[in-house]
Structure 1
Amino acid sequence: MKVLLLACMLACAGVVLGRRVPRAYTDIYDSIDINTVLSNRRLLVPYVLCVLEEGKCTPPGKELKSHIKEALETHCGQCTENQKRGSRQVIAHLINHEPEYWKKLTNKYDPTGKFTKMYENELRAHV
């Protein structure tokens, strides 16, 4: 879930040479242990339900929900390297171990499948 969280953190903007340049998402939540969240459905499910607007949101969940679509569309373009790795780990987990939640998330944030197909092809486990 941290992957989704990190992939979708609030984007900041800066000024460089008089132009606004998008900066990386905040790294305030980089210390969350993704493996702990992914291995414990009691921790994982509330994040998923928050993002799906089917449950209450923590502050990190609210940020995730507000930026998830942009992060998917830009292939995590404003993510730090740590967030990119985490995002891939969370997405792979959802695809391979929580397919019903992955389907709900993709239906909500990418109903045409334009962006999520690349993740599915790349991160689906070969069984």
Structure 2
Amino acid sequence: RRKMKPKYFILSLSLTMSLTLAYELMYDDTYYESILKNERLFNGLLECLLSDDVCSNPVFQQLKDLSPEIIETICGKCTEKQKMNFKNSTVKFKKDRPVDYDHVLTKYDPENKFRGPLEDFLNS
């Protein structure tokens, strides 16, 4: 049985920890309400989420990359603060822009596997 060299183990552990930390810090510090209130920012985020291209805004790109997982797990890896931000911003998005909300869900959940549980979460 081959053993992992200590330096590779430390590198692997550091990378895993930094990715987890970056995920948590980024979404705790993102002001979802301010994005929803700023039409230019929100339209940029929406364009990013619906596009098949890479987004020019790195924060929006990270949200885009994580959207399938967030929708599938209903923010399962989120902190409590992140879940509250996700819930509040999604409820507002759905209320204010229902057509765009449906477009995003259709893109990230084309088979409607997760819409029911997501709606239950949003209504809880």
Count of residues in Structure 1 that have an aligned counterpart in Structure 2: 106
Structure 2 equivalent of residue 9 of structure 1: none
Cα pair 1:95 1:120 within 8 Å, conserved: no
Cα pair 2:91 2:122 within 8 Å, conserved: yes
How far apart are 1:54 and its partner, in Å?
6.7
TM-score, L = length of structure 2: 0.71
Larger strand fraction of residues: 1
Structure 2 equivalent of residue 86 of structure 1: 85
Structure 2 equivalent of residue 103 of structure 1: 102
TM-score, L = length of structure 1: 0.70
- CA–CA distance in structure 1, aligned partners of residues 65 and 78 of structure 2: 15
List structure 1 runs of 4+ shifted beyond 4 angstroms. none
Structure 1 alignment gaps of length 5 or more: 1-11, 15-21
How far apart are 1:113 and its partner, in Å?
1.5
- CA–CA distance in structure 2, aligned partners of residues 78 and 23 of structure 1: 10
Larger RCO (alpha carbons 8 Å, 6+ apart): 1
Larger helix fraction of residues: 2
Structure 2 equivalent of residue 50 of structure 1: 48
Larger Rg: 2
For 2:94, the aligned partner's letter is: I
Cα pair 2:74 2:121 within 8 Å, conserved: no
- CA–CA distance in structure 1, aligned partners of residues 117 and 80 of structure 2: 19
Aligned pair partner of 1:26 in 9, 24, 45: 24
Structure 1 equivalent of residue 12 of structure 2: none
- CA–CA distance in structure 2, aligned partners of residues 57 and 78 of structure 1: 25
How large is the RMSD of aligned CA atoms in angstroms? 2.4
Structure 2 equivalent of residue 4 of structure 1: none
Residues 115-124 or 104-113, more deviating: 115-124
How far apart are 1:31 and its partner, in Å?
2.2
